[in-house]
Amino acid sequence: MTRKRVAVLISGRGSNLAALIDAAKAEDYPADIALVLSNRPDALGLARARDAGIPTAVVDHRPFGDDREAFERALDAELNARRIELVCLAGFMRLFTPWFVGRWSGRLLNIHPALLPQFKGLHTHRRALESGVRRHGATVHFVVAETDAGPIILQDSVAILDGDTEETLAARVLEVEHRIYPQALRLVAEGRASFDSADAAKNAR
Ligand code: GRF
């Protein structure tokens, strides 16, 4: 088995990154974390990557101003330089243009802290509590141009308990995230879950 070369894109603490790094230690895991890339030079997750001996790169979005595609071309160059085959977004707080999404279509995964299609966007735990739903969770999906809307690879849920706060709920959902992201990446790396946007467009016609 040749392991797929994976880049994990982060902006922050990188706990999902840590879960993916741990999973990839198993001999039979079909993916290697070959690059950790951050748009923020101070992201805590970069230190986790260095501790694990994984190459890191920083592409700061700020010098690019409003030119999102120029930022993405710089990202793309880093990914290609490392011969990356799959990209996992893990708390990467930048939205992509259709150009980047098209380039990486079917090879770009994201984790979202809600049971999509519920609660797209930010502050998902607060919104779940406010809405009165009894279950909440996390979803790994393929990225498409529309935010948090791509085909779902895996999701799992937890019960919302009386007395839950945004923090207690977030902590329980985070455990779900750490479990399902490595599982979802395994499915994609082994070719057992796939998404072809050209086929999807044909079927929609
Ligand atoms: C996670 O809740 C993830 O679902 C969301 O951002 C958070 C990142 O956390 N997209 P971490 O950096 O992986 O700890």
Question: What residues form DSSP beta bridges with 88?
Answer: 8, 109
Range 153-158 average pLDDT: 98
**The pLDDT of residue 202 is above 80:** no
pLDDT-derived band at 59 (thresholds 50, 70, 90) equals very high
Residues ≥6 apart with Cβ < 8 Å to 162: none
In a domain, 118, yes or no: yes
Short-list 60, 64, 66, 94, CA closest to 78: 60
pLDDT digits (tens, 9 = 90+) for 73-82: 999 999 999 9
- Which positions are catalytic? 112
Owning domain of residue 93: 4-191
Range 180-204 average pLDDT: 90
Q: What separation in Å is there between the alpha carbon of 92 and the centre of ligand 1? A: 8
Least confident segment among 2-16, 143-157, 188-202? 188-202
In a domain, 204, yes or no: no
Q: Please give the tally of structural domains in the chain.
A: 1
**The pLDDT of residue 43 is above 90:** yes
End-to-end CA distance of the chain: 37
The per-residue pLDDT of the chain, averaged, comes to 96
Interstrand relation of 31-38 and 108-112 (parallel, antiparallel or unpaired):
unpaired
Q: For atom 14 of ligand 1, which residue has the closest CA?
A: 15
Q: What's residue 205's pLDDT?
A: 64
Range 43-68 average pLDDT: 97
**The pLDDT of residue 51 is above 90:** yes
DSSP 3-state of 193: coil
In a domain, 201, yes or no: no
201, containing H or E segment: helix 197-204
pLDDT digits (tens, 9 = 90+) for 163-179: 999 999 999 999 999 99
**For residue 179, with 0-12 CB atoms within 10 Å meaning exposed, 13-18 middle and 19 or more buried, which class applies?**
middle
Q: What's residue 199's pLDDT?
A: 78
pLDDT-derived band at 14 (thresholds 50, 70, 90) equals very high
Residues ≥6 apart with Cβ < 8 Å to 122: none
Which residue from 36, 109, 177 has its CB within 8 A of the most atoms of ligand 1, so it is best to mutate?
177
Report the predicted TM-score, pTM, of the whole model to 2 decimal places: 0.96
Range 186-202 average pLDDT: 90
Q: What is the CATH number of the domain that holds 128?
A: 3.40.50.170
List all residues whose CB is within 6 A of at least one atom of ligand 1. 10, 12-17, 45, 90-91, 111-113, 177
In a domain, 27, yes or no: yes
Question: How far is C-alpha 133 from the geometric centre of its chain's CA atoms?
Answer: 24
Q: What separation in Å is there between the alpha carbon of 203 and the centre of ligand 1? A: 33
Range 90-116 average pLDDT: 97
In a domain, 10, yes or no: yes
Q: For atom 3 of ligand 1, which residue has the closest CA?
A: 91
In a domain, 203, yes or no: no
In a domain, 23, yes or no: yes
Q: Count CB atoms within 10 A of the CB of residue 127.
A: 17
